[in-house]
Structure 1
Amino acid sequence: MVGVGLGLLVAGFAVGYAIGFPHTVVQRIQMWASPWSNAVRGGDQLAHAFWALGAGAFSGTGLGLGDPQFVPAAHTDLVLTAIGEELGFVGLLAVLGVSALLAWRSSRIALRAPGDYTFFLALGLTLSIVLQLLLIASGLLGLMPLTGVATPFLSYGRSSMIANFLAFGVLLAISARSTRGKELAEFVRPTRWVAGALGVMLLLVAGRAAWLQVVRADQTVSAPVLAVQADGGRRFQYNPRLLAVASVIVRGTIADRNGIPLATSRPADLEAQAEALARLGVKVPDSCAANGGRCYPFGGITYHLLGDWRTQVDWAASNTSFVERDSDARLRGYDDHARVVEVADPRTGATTRVLRRDLRELVPLLRYRRRPDHDVVKAFLSRPRDVRLSIDARLQVRAAALVQASMGLGGHQRGAAVVMAEDGDVLSAVSYPWPNLPPSGIAFASGDQAPAGNDERLLDRARYGVYPPGSSFKLVTATAALRKDPALLNHTFACVPLGDGRVGQKIPGWSRPVRDDVQDKNAHGVLALERALVVSCNAYFAQLGLLVGAPALQETAALYEIPLGHPESARQVRETLPFAAYGQGQVLASPFKMARVAATIAAGGKMPQGRWVLDETNRRTEAPREVLPPALSGVIARAMRGVVLEGTGRVLREARPPVAGKTGTAEVQNKPSHSWFVGYAPYGGTGRQIAFSVIVENGGYGARAA
């Protein structure tokens, strides 16, 4: 009969779940069936119970040293999780043992009751108490759907506590009237069967607790749960104990190549560099980095390099290289292995992309968080968390000031990149306009707003802005020609009048003639490569590009990661080859990539990959690659010096140290041309050289703006 009753009870729940009524039963079964991923509001309740048990592990955190406040209803329905956290598996086993002892003693009272009525009364009271414990324990351990019954003598309450004491009062009264050792023989065998069933259930509960708290304690405490959030979306959430542990790890400092902090959460780092910051005109607010907040002493001029950890604006954009994001594991001191995963909504079937983290690396720190002198804690907190950049803060500030001060010379948007020619270390990367970000505090200062995702101030023009490079690309075409055949250095082509007041050349097979700049009134005549670079002759390079061919030009451009089309294909490049050869067509490049072109020529033909992180977290680790022999790159360098002495870069003729460079005028449909200047300094020196590239969007002809 008992089996039939239990079967009918289970069948009733199954029918209710199938028809979706009552709704509470449906939700409880969904939570039980999938505790780590469900679509129930508040469906993370079981996960919180598991996290608490996993945190307690075998021996517990110690009385008063747990975090039961993180568990919903920890003082009532889920009080066993608080015990399991602070006393561990040992504590839960003790609770089960005491309950088993009470059940055994109560069953003895029932068997020695003076009559049938008192036997059933005692046994019923015993089962009502023991089954309560087994129901709630099985629910919070995931053995069955969670129920809202109280844990006898442990849950906070009044009526339930009074009822439990009354029940044991009745049992004691029956015990006082017992038969003194004589048992009711007809009930001994059935009672043993009941006791055996209860024993099996207690063993199942103990085994499940051992699985969660001993065998898989670390996996349990660090597992994320995919749950419904307040906005209705399903996202991963994490054990608040691990998040609390992570919050006490002070985020590392990002410093420039000279140790000047660019981003920090440690006031001491700012104080140590106060004089250097003051020389750069940076006055650190008193609130900067107070209470562990993130501070950016240089404000918006370093935004495109660092990003903003406080707001994480534009964090998911692919055209960014924020150090705060890319070196996040190093700065935090641990790797959360963040990855984007697709999750399906079981209610609608729709899929969304969400971020999933793995916090298991924090588990040892959680285990010993109350023992700061433990070797595990010391080793964890002593991990290097600072990041050193190749950026020179002095040059970054100076370049930003120059870029901002040149607003009257052309377009509004502009970008500049400065790199060491020898190793490609990025010394400065400035993009204007930049966000007006306050240096301190989590909230934006009065009048400042967090930029939106489509704000033009967010674009990293120096490294990810792509523009037609115009005549500055002739450096790449010249390199491709000399790589294919050094004899092309002396190959000549003609630049002639076109009859419409312009000069250039008509290319057989192309209906549109190649025209030189509108300011070129006299044809350049017959000229070779070096002279063609000095005078920036479009007609020469269009013909040279055809002679070199699309494959060779593509190969050389690919070395610099400069695409010749979108999408790039051999056919598409062939169809625009004369124009691509002098930086028009569909050629697109960033200031950083063009600075690498100049760096390659300055370094005797060895192309650096370029990097902005100096420590072991740097991922750009390729050694400089020889693109041209030194003698041939020297020819291009000499031509670049000629551009400054007698060509379109004459405005820098008297500059010291001496500069070698190449101007560029990139035509844009229905808008003023982009203005480029690419070069390096000092020309002809024996020391270290720096290469640079500047673009002014819609800045007009040549180097006038750039």
Structure 2
Amino acid sequence: MPKQIESRLLKLAALFLGLYSLILTISPAVRARNWDVDYLWMHWAGFALWAGLSWLVHARISKDAPDRDPYLFPLAALLSGWGLLSIWRLTPTFGLRQSLWLAVSSLILIIGLRWHSLLPTLRRYKYILLTSGLILTTLTLIFGANPLGVGPRLWLELGGIYLQPSEPLKLLLVIYLAAYLADHIPRKGNIFPLIFPTIILASLALLLLLFQRDLGAASIFIMLYASVLFLATGKKRVLFGNAAILQIVGLLGYYFIDIIHVRLAMWFSPWDDPSGRGYQIIQSLMAIANGGLFGRGPGLGSPGFVPVTHSDFIFASLAEETGLAGTIGLLTLIGMLLFRGFKITLDASTIFRRLLAAGLTAYLGIQSLLIIGGNLRLLPLTGVTLPFISYGGSSLLTSYLALLLLILISNDAGEAAPLPQPQPYHILSGILTLGLVSAALINGWWAIVRGPDLLSRSDNPRRALADRFVPRGNLFDRNNNPINITTGKSGEYSREYIYPDLASTVGYTHPTYGQAGLEAELDDYLRGLAGNPSTLIWWNHILYGQPPPGLDVRLSLDLDLQSRADESLGKHQGAVVLVNAESGEILAMASHPTFNANLLGEIGDDLLTDENSPLLNRATQGLYPLSLEFDALFSQSITHGIRLPVAETSKGYASPFQMAMIAAALSNEGIAQAPRLALAVNTPQNGWVILHAIGEPIEYFTSKETGQLITTFDSEDESYWQIISANNTEENSLTWLLAGTLSEWRGTPFGLAVLLEENNPKLAKEIARNLLGYAP
């Protein structure tokens, strides 16, 4: 019967991993939406090796351990196969290495199955085993190496093969504690004298790991020691003491050990340094958010943005590509493995085997929760691996050794040893179960509740990657002349800025420098997340893990007028805003100096430090002092909003855009229309759809006040009025000009604001003449 159950479960695991491999193979075509691509094949070698090893181990287990628990190996095999395919998908080189380690681990499992006296041997030589583990770990302080060449030297190298002694040392501690406590712990009385040797050896191991700066292993050591001791004695104060020790170590480390301080600070508030120390955890949370409910699909996520995603952050990788549904499945598999481990514990025939099975199960559960909790920001990062899944030969081998011992214990057909105190086992299993449930809930929080906020952050690199595979919508002027367009083919799409001088207004979208201007404000339309049918958005998300093609947007800008404004302003610093007073449409918005967004990759850093602030949109974001006359005019009006970053009003200061709206009101009998910069969006179902203005018309002045004010303004031309203010002080030299069409104007009424960061009324008047004299 166990053989049949195990066989069926392994077939289901093979079916799941086979489908997973198939999806990985075709994922490049799905991402590019084109069958003429290079497909992924190398991971099939890993799948084939996994299938062969699983069949071989199953055959040997059926012969050498006929009464074993039939669920253990299929669960471990599915987890290790899932992890193996994920590593192949992320880094084929590491996938090949992990495949070799899987072969080694499976071979050792087969050999161990045939060693029928293995458990008694481990019990007999407990001191020698633990001491050997401590010696190997000590050697890393002298001969330690790191496969990456940087970071803590936790490995011993032998002929290009790296072994991390702290991994098997965890099992050796469990074996030692189970053997010693099974022989010495009494049912009642003072237990301290009897467990004193365990405290000494465990403390030596802990100090060694602290000197080695392997904080993850040290944390697991403390928890494993407390868990096994609690199960053996039934004393709840052991758990409370363990919690207190962890808190004290954390508190002391925060103030005196730099690496603990960094990790705790990063856990408390990673958002304080999102591109530095908080980068790893923030990118992990973004990956989880990107996965959402059902994930982007195998091979379709962007887990490469998370550092060390094949090892420390492999849970985040799986969360991005399989979503909340996939991670709940993963947590369920881990929970089932722990459940079978505790069942084996309760059915064990001796106290030693019971404590050993419980310790091994606790090891698998505690290490899984530590790494998953770190990925979810539920716990501080510890740098440990996810058993059976993460890349790492020492970790995989240790996991398979734990599996071997659990299989051997479960194969014992004897009667269960007496269990006077079952409560400690129930408590420990309850704590681990609560940890898995908490991880599922926190995963849902980041993936569903906080997901939209995280994905909309400007430092989310996945947005830029999606722009390479999905065409972004174009921006046109009112006459359908292109301003910003997408060029290239799938996988190589790029943004081209046809009219570079408009960069400060229409903005840019860039993989390094994020988004600005209308590219940011209209991002949902340009990315296809607004304006498209919800079913189309959902289908593209499920099938491709990407948004649908973006939608084109028509702006109110007139490139003919815009070019006149830019040419008139030339190399002078300042801003020009021309408004259709009758409709509120912005016809021209110039801000100088400007920049060429096509060259942002080369000049971006220089722009950030340029003292002339070319990134600043002076028309909307600049606040400039007003003369008394202009300030009185401004105070009499009401400021109005726009779909652009607009500087907040300060007493005695205004932006050129705000003053242009006042000019427009004076040219429209005192009524300021709601400003409009985005006119329409080209939807797939209804064609060009009008985008309504944000806000309602506002009466800035009465008709009588408008007439009285205009009569006081200068007019060098019969067709428009204007008012000028210029100053030249030590603090600043500015020239303001407001202008607009008169009531006798037979065409479209206009409002104009000109701001020059110099004392130059002549130039301001020339700009007004060039624009209002040309405007239809």
TM-score by structure 1 length? 0.54
Aligned counterpart for 2:558 among listed residues 388, 392, 415: 392
Query: How big is the shift at 1:43?
Result: 6.3
The alignment partner of 2:334 has SS state of: helix
Q: Deviations over 1:202-223 (max 9, x none)?
A: 4324422442456875136567
Specify whether residues 128 and 262 from structure 1 end up closer, same or farther in structure 2 by C-alpha distance, changes over 3 A only.
same
Matched, 1:450 2:588: no
Q: Which amino acid aligns with 1:621?
A: G
437, 458, 476: which is aligned to 1:207?
437
Give the one of 349, 369, 374 matched to 2:541. Answer: 369
CA deviations 1:465-502 (Å, max 9, x no partner) are 747679xx6xx9xxxxxxxxxxxxxxxxxxxxxxxxxx
Match of 1:623 among 697, 703, 717: 697
Q: Counterparts of 2:763 and 2:300 in 1: how far apart (Å)?
A: 70
Partner of 1:98: 337
Taking the aligned partners of 1:633 and 1:218, their CA distance within structure 2 comes to 53
Does structure 2 retain, via aligned residues, the 8 Å contact 1:77–1:136? no
Shift of 1:200: 2.3
Spell out, residue by residue over 1:218-247, the C-alpha distance to the aligned partner (whole angstroms, 9 max, x if none): 13656759xxxxxxxxxx897776776687
Match of residue 548, structure 2, among 381, 394, 403:
381
Instruction: Please report how far the alpha carbon of residue 125 of structure 1 lies from its aligned counterpart in structure 2 after TM superposition.
Output: 3.5
Aligned to 1:219: 449
Quote the Cα distance in structure 1 between the aligned partners of 2:569 and 2:511.
Answer: 26
Aligned: 1:659 with 2:724? no
Helix, strand or coil: the match of 1:294? Answer: strand
Aligned residues of 1:293 and 1:442 also touching (Cα < 8 A): no
Amino acid at match of 1:381: P
Distance 2:589 2:453 in 1: 40
1:253 partner letter:
N
Q: Cα–Cα, structure 1 residues 315 and 266, in superposed 2: closer, same or farther, change >3 Å?
A: closer
Q: Please say if residues 462 and 590 of structure 1, whose CA atoms lie closer than 8 Å, have aligned partners that are also in contact.
A: yes
Aligned partner of 1:14 in structure 2 is 247
Q: 5 Å matches for 1:602-681?
A: 602-604=667-669, 606-608=671-673, 610-615=675-680, 621-623=695-697, 625=699, 627-629=701-703, 649=716, 659-662=719-722, 664=724, 666=726, 668-669=728-729, 679-680=739-740
Structure 2: how far apart are the matches of 1:101 and 1:637?
87
Partner in structure 1 of residue 174 of structure 2:
none
State the one-letter code of the partner of 1:614: L
* Deviation of the 1:91 alpha carbon: 3.3
Q: Deviations over 1:85-115 (max 9, x none)?
A: 644312321332134324434653x41xxxx
Instruction: Identify the match of residue 582 of structure 2 among 413, 422, 432.
Output: 422
What residue number does 2:486 align with?
Answer: 265
Aligned mates of 1:688, 1:102 — CA distance in 2: 81
Q: What is the CA-CA distance between 1:5 and the residue it aligns to?
A: 4.4
- SS for the counterpart of 2:496 is coil
Deviation of 1:260 after TM superposition, in Å, equals 1.7
Contact conserved, 2:666 with 2:701, CA < 8 A, in 1?
no
CA deviation vs aligned residue, 1:165-204 (integer Å, no higher than 9, x gap) = 556656666777x5x54454xx3445x5564345324432
Q: Which residue of 2 aligns with 1:434?
A: 593
Encode CA deviations 1:387-421: one digit per residue, 9 max, x unaligned. Answer: 433221111113333444xx9xxxx5565443334
**Deviation string for 1:328-371 (max 9, x for gaps)?**
55545569xxxxxxxxxxxxxxxxxxxxxxxxxx9x97997351
- Would you say the 8 A contact 2:290–2:296 is kept in 1? yes
Q: Is the 8 A contact 2:581 2:668 kept in 1?
A: yes
Deviation per residue, 1:242-273 (Å, 9 max, x gap): 776687665443322212222333579xxxxx
Aligned 1:18-57 pairs, distance under 5 A: 18-20=251-253, 23=257, 26=260, 30=264, 34=268
For residues 625-680 of structure 1, what are the alpha-carbon distances to aligned partners after superposition, in whole Å with 9 as ceiling and x for unaligned?
Answer: 384548x967887898xx76xxxx3xx5xxxxx63434646454589997777655
Aligned counterparts of 1:57 and 1:671: Cα–Cα separation in 2: 53
Q: Name the residue aligned to 1:357.
A: none
The code of the aligned residue for 1:10 comes to A
Q: Which moved more, 1:30-39 or 1:206-215?
A: 30-39
For 1:417 and 1:237, the matched residues in 2 are separated by 28
Q: Deviations over 1:530-583 (max 9, x none)?
A: xxxxxxxxxxxxxxxxxxxxxxx9588512769xxx986xxxxxxxxxxxxxxx
Q: Secondary structure at the match of 1:295?
A: strand
Cα deviation 1:677-699 (Å, max 9, x = unaligned): 76556873544344545566423
Alignment of 1:460-475 (within 5 A): 464=622, 466=624
> Does structure 2 retain, via aligned residues, the 8 Å contact 1:661–1:677?
no
In structure 2, the residue matched to 1:123 is 354
Report percent identity of matched pairs.
Answer: 22
Write the distance in 1 (CA, Å) between the matches of 2:585 and 2:602.
Answer: 32
Tell me: CA distance 1:7–1:69, structure 2 relative to 1, closer, same or farther (3 Å): same
Which amino acid in 2 is paired with 1:23?
A: I
Q: Among residues 753, 759, 764, which one is paired with 1:698 in the alignment?
A: 759
CA change 1:633–1:312 in 2 (3 A) is: farther
Does the 8 Å contact 1:610/1:620 carry over to 2? yes
Q: Is the contact between residue 391 and residue 428 of structure 1 (CA under 8 Å) also seen in structure 2?
A: yes
**Partner Cα separation in structure 1 for residue 385 and residue 512 of structure 2:** 44
Q: Deviations over 1:437-456 (max 9, x none)?
A: 2352432479x952646416
| 1:130 Cα deviation after fit | 0.7
Unmatched segments (≥5 aa) in structure 2: 1-232, 641-648, 681-689, 768-776
2:495 aligns with one of 294, 302, 325: 294
Per the TM alignment, residue 135 of structure 1 is displaced from its structure 2 partner at its CA by 0.8
Q: Does the CA contact (< 8 Å) of 1:666 and 1:673 recur in 2?
A: yes
Q: Distance in 1 between matches of 2:618 and 2:392?
A: 64
Is 1:401 matched up with 2:556? Answer: no
Equivalence for 1:323 = 518
Q: Which amino acid letter does the alignment assign opposite residue 636 of structure 2? A: A
1:7/1:195 CA distance change after superposition, 3 Å: closer
Q: Output the CA distance in 2 between the equivalents of 1:201 and 1:263.
A: 56
Counterpart residue type for residue 601 of structure 2: A
Please tell me the residue identity of whatever aligns with 2:593.
W
Instruction: Note closer, same or farther for the CA distance 1:258–1:669 as it changes in structure 2 (3 Å cut).
Output: same
Deviates more, 1:9-18 or 1:167-176: 167-176
- Does residue 256 in structure 1 map to residue 467 in structure 2? no
Give the conservation status (yes or no) of the 8 Å contact 2:371–2:385: no
The answer for the alignment partner of 2:506 in structure 1 is: 306
Higher gyration radius (CA): 1
Give the distance between the partners of 2:730 and 2:416, measured in 1 at CA.
105
After superposition, the Cα gap between the structure-2 partners of 1:298 and 1:311, relative to the gap in structure 1 and judged at 3 Å, is farther
1:203/1:154 CA distance change after superposition, 3 Å: same
Is 1:414–1:461's contact at 8 Å kept on the other side of the alignment? yes
Give the letter aligned to residue 450 of structure 1: L
Secondary structure class of the residue paired with 1:661: strand
In 1, the alpha carbon distance for the partners of 2:555 and 2:424 equals 71
Task: State the one-letter code of the partner of 1:455.
Answer: N
Q: 1:264 to 1:98 in 2, by over 3 A?
A: same
Q: 1:686 to 1:559 in 2, by over 3 A?
A: same
Q: Give the Cα separation in 1 of the matches to 2:341 and 2:588.
A: 75
Matched AA of 1:15: I
Q: 1:88 aligns with which of 301, 304, 327?
A: 327
TM-score normalized by structure 2? 0.50
Tell me the equivalent position of 1:353: none
Count of residues in correspondence between the two structures: 500
Contact 2:344 2:406 in 1 (8 A): no
Structure 1 Cα separation of the partners of residues 329 and 273 of structure 2: 34
